[in-house]
Copies of this chain bind each other. A is one copy, B any other.
Amino acid sequence: MHIPEKHKDDLQDLLSNASSTLRATSPDLEALLFEPIPILDHGFIRVVDYMGDDAAIVQAARVSYGKGTKKVSEDQGLINYLLRHRHTTPFEMCEIKFHVKMPIFVARQWLRHRTANVNEYSARYSVMDREFYIPAPDQIAAQSTSNNQGRDEVLTGRDAERVLDYLKHDALLTYKHYQEMMNFDDEGNIIDEARPSLARELARMNLPVNFYTQFYWKIDLHNFMHFLSLRADPHAQYEIRIYAEKMLDILKAWAPMTYHAFMEYKMGSTHLSKTATEIIKRRLKGESIDQKSSGLGAREWRELLDIFPEIGE
């Protein structure tokens, strides 16, 4: 369970307190508010607040007095146009705020995105929980031989067991020593009144980066889409990609027109270099092209064929 028992009342309290508002409201996102969506073995995403919707983008783009919306088809057309032509400022007019929980090594990647607001749980101030990430069996994978930053086939049998044993053993041991240095037991009570407690800001340094941290994270819709385009990408590490993929669903509930445009013009789109553009033109005119005549290096040629195998045919 991802919301601790002691916080269930908080959640119930939030869900039972509706107010009346004149602000733009997204009914489908309201239905998702506050509830944690479980990710990995102990992580979650919860939407805790949002500002604006598809109509707010239109309204800002027109610097209008009213709601901005005319007809649904016109709004979708304008949103498509804005995204296609990199008019990014109207998308900055919407904002979303999450409460997220993830392993520290995932948080380290996540927080590279600087155009967001963050308030993280402090291990200087508070005691960390005994919660660490152990990959599911289908995620314990070998180093890729072709990609320095990637994974290959899944480990099995004794090879997988060894990994799991090390990870579990070391997480439990380092946490036990973390507690002993602070002189705390599992209930947070002092173990031995006669000896001092090491400062929390020092003791925490013994914990591995698969321990879970959590933070509030707020970002505008333009930068949110930029985050998703990088982190929902197949090249992103699985442990962060899985968060980004759940967030795509949240985007869809929040601002369906923007989601539609994003999938069409960003996620599913293709970026062709100048030379690759020329190759497509030559091929469309009927020319046969191989890597040698293409003007591309071997790697870029391969990347192009991955997208357009038809060129090589």
Which residues of A approach B to under 8 Å, CB–CB?
3-4, 7, 9-11, 13-15, 17-25, 27, 30, 33-34, 48-52, 56, 59-61, 63-67, 77, 84-86, 89-90, 92-93, 95, 97, 99, 103-105, 108, 111-112, 114-115, 117-126, 133, 135, 139-144, 148-153, 155, 159, 162-163, 166-167, 169-170, 173-174, 177, 180-182, 195-202, 204-210, 214-216, 218, 220, 230, 235, 237, 263-265, 267-277, 280-281, 283-285, 297, 300, 307-308, 310-311
Contact = CB atoms under 8 A, between A and B. Distances in A.
B3 A65 contact: yes
Nearest to A113: B114
14 contacts: A3-B65, A18-B22, A51-B95, A60-B119, A63-B215, A90-B119, A93-B97, A114-B114, A140-B202, A142-B196, A151-B201, A167-B205, A207-B209, A218-B220
Nearest to A210: B205
B181 A166 contact: yes
A198 B142 contact: yes
A99 B59 CA distance: 10
Q: Which 9 A-B pairs have the closest CB atoms?
A: A10-B66, A268-B274, A284-B310, A7-B65, A92-B117, A19-B25, A205-B210, A114-B114, A142-B196
B142 A197 contact: yes
A132 B143 CA distance: 24
Copies in the complex: 4
A77 B196 CA distance: 30
Nearest to A311: B284
Contact of A274 (B133, B135, B264, B285): B264
A209 B198 contact: no
B93 A117 contact: yes
Contact of A149 (B90, B111, B125, B269): B125
A189 B150 CA distance: 20
B18 A20 contact: yes
A239 to B, nearest CB: 8
A99 to B, nearest CB: 7
Contacts of A124: 148-149, 237
Given A114-B115, A162-B181, 9 more contacts: A10-B66, A19-B20, A23-B30, A23-B33, A104-B209, A117-B220, A135-B202, A206-B208, A280-B284
A199 B277 contact: no
Contacts of A111: 111-112
B34 A22 contact: yes
Nearest to A11: B65
Contact of A10 (B67, B162, B280): B67
A230 to B, nearest CB: 7
A248 to B, nearest CB: 14
Contact of A199 (B143, B169, B173): B143
